[in-house]
Structure 1
Amino acid sequence: MQILVVEDDKRISDFLIKGLQENGYMVTLCRSAEDVLSDFSNIQWDLIILDIMLPGMDGTQLVQTLRYKKNFTPILMVSALNTVQDKVAALDYGADDYITKPFHFDELLSRIKALTRRQQYQQQERPSSVLTFGDLSIDLNQYLVSHGGAEIDLSPREYKLLMYLVENIDKTVTRVQILNAVWGITFDNHTNVVDVYISYLRNKIEKGDSKFIYTIKGVGYMFKG
């Protein structure tokens, strides 16, 4: 099992590495968030143990950046900050767990086992995470859309619109239904935002002879695989 430890305090990092290696884990140390992003973010880690107080970019900012880059490796935050607000902020930004310094090493091991066990369960529950429609592929775990192997850059709203259409494959959905599902029920029903975003989506996912989104005149749209 590969663990990345991000900690700039040598005393603490030595303690973590020694204890983890004695328990059979393979450990890599990184001393700053910037080094993680430049050298380690593309490696498939089983877990990241991350200190909040780092030089330069702090741990919370690193979590946000990793999640934005669609890196969903389990992250255990380690910090001397122990207020409820500190813990809530870290979890809201994408951390999976939070342990306060000082801590007993047995508690750390227990949290590591819980996080990795949860990850294994999620992988077992989602044996097939890729939807394929001809040359169009949607990776539900990575939130990635590609056509013919080439990744398509969709905005969060475009992705949500695509997923709503896919979830209703071969069914006609009205503009009002799309507005309610993708923009919320309080959005102005008289706007043409649905048509505009359908046009954006078509331009991005329909390449060559591929056609997925059909206009149902006077009603709305239908996605066909």
Structure 2
Amino acid sequence: MELLLVEDNPRISEFMVKGLEESGFSVILAENGNKARSLIAQREWDLVLLDIMLPDIDGIELLQYMRYKKINTPILVVSALGEPDDKVKALDYGADDYLAKPFHFKELIARINALTRRFKSNNQVQENVLTCDNLKLYLDRHIVERDSKEIKLTLQEFKLLQLLMENKNKVLSRVQILDAVWGIDYDSNTNVVDVYISYLRNKVDTESENKLIQTVKGRGYLIRTQEN
């Protein structure tokens, strides 16, 4: 699970990053609001931990920016501003939860876990979607996105990608892929699987350092993810 921590105090951020990583989270630190906004625009996060008092863009402005852009990532505000009015303001502007400093680290972890569970549950109800790292395939809308950028696929490319994502981290032979995507009556000597795997790689993996579609020599193909 990848978290974005927006915190300008080096002592606090060091403490939080260390504790979160020891708890099994992957954490990227943004020391100011401008860096945070850039990182939020570049990719999707599982959760944002957001301080309010930042040296440039404050946390409330970041909340407004994310919700205006319809970025529905869960946001947990972690702030030294602990008055009821501060909490109400943050929640009204789009925060999902609020934790005042100082806090017990166990409570922080519990709130993160509760928010991400709730978010995943809501998404499953709202959309029939397959995910592999930063790749998403929306079954009902026939849309594929990577890093929130839409990828245009043909029907057969979509079906092939769906099959790979439904079996992520599992090697599928050419025969299995051929049967599932093109049908059992298709010529088993054709190289259509290899051709379409190449098409997918060019569309899905070209612009990313993390190459999802892998070849296992002599066995077939798979999508290999870094998800837990």
Partners of 1:65 and 1:127 in 2: CA distance = 24
Give the alignment's TM-score, normalised by structure 1.
0.57
Question: Is it true that 1:92 corresponds to 2:86 in the alignment?
Answer: no
Shift of 1:125: 1.2
Partners of 1:38 and 1:9 in 2: CA distance = 19
Cα RMSD over matched residues? 2.4
Shift of 1:108: 0.2
Shift of 1:82: 1.1
Match in the other structure for 1:83: 83
Match in the other structure for 1:50: 50
Aligned residues: 138
SS at match of 2:102: coil
Match in the other structure for 2:27: 27
Partners of 1:125 and 1:131 in 2: CA distance = 13
Match in the other structure for 2:12: 12
Partners of 2:101 and 2:118 in 1: CA distance = 24
What residue identity is the alignment partner of 1:9? Answer: N
C-alpha distance after superposition, 1:38-91 (max 9, x if no partner) = 244231100000000001110011010111111110000011111111000000
Partners of 1:93 and 1:127 in 2: CA distance = 25
What residue identity is the alignment partner of 2:33? Answer: A
For 1:167-206, list aligned pairs within 5 A.
none
Shift of 1:118: 0.1
Match in the other structure for 2:69: 69
Partners of 1:31 and 1:67 in 2: CA distance = 21
SS at match of 2:42: coil
What residue identity is the alignment partner of 1:81? Answer: L
Shift of 1:131: 11
Percent identity among equivalent residues? 51
SS at match of 1:41: helix
SS at match of 2:53: coil
For 1:68-217, list aligned pairs within 5 A.
68-128=68-128
Partners of 1:53 and 1:63 in 2: CA distance = 13
Q: Which 5+ residue runs of structure 2 have no aligned equivalent?
A: 130-137, 144-151, 154-228
Partners of 2:124 and 2:39 in 1: CA distance = 30
Match in the other structure for 1:198: none
Between 31-40 and 55-64, the greater mean CA deviation after superposition: 31-40
What residue identity is the alignment partner of 2:26? Answer: M
Partners of 2:87 and 2:5 in 1: CA distance = 19
SS at match of 1:120: helix
